[in-house]
Amino acid sequence: MTMTDAAARDTWALDREIVLSRVLDAPRELVFKAWSDPKLLVQWFGPEGFKTETLEIDIREGGRWRFIYTGPDGTRWENRMVFLRVDAPRLLEMEHARTWTTIPRGFT
């Protein structure tokens, strides 16, 4: 049985939640732009050695970013982010999840 995203969120135990934050020595506006400009975002986002390909992106509250990571071996993983809060240039709150499937090579 597969659980929908909404059902999973409703039953998610808070003791399984991970919150990450990072302080960067850079101007706030520049960091926000790196996260909110689609052309810049794919240049740095993702594991080292992986390519990030955007399928769709809408950076606003309630908007989402669907993208694919392609690993060095050609394996592709579909991901999505939902933007929960956007307060430029101070805050971006998002939920990031994998679709839990890999995309076979040659499939687009």
pLDDT score for 9: 61
Average model confidence (pLDDT) across the chain: 83
> In terms of C-beta density within 10 A (0-12 exposed, 13-18 middle, 19 or more buried), how is residue 7 classed?
exposed
pTM over 0.75, yes/no: no
Instruction: Report the topology of domain 25-103.
Output: Alpha-D-Glucose-1,6-Bisphosphate; Chain A, domain 4 (3.30.530)
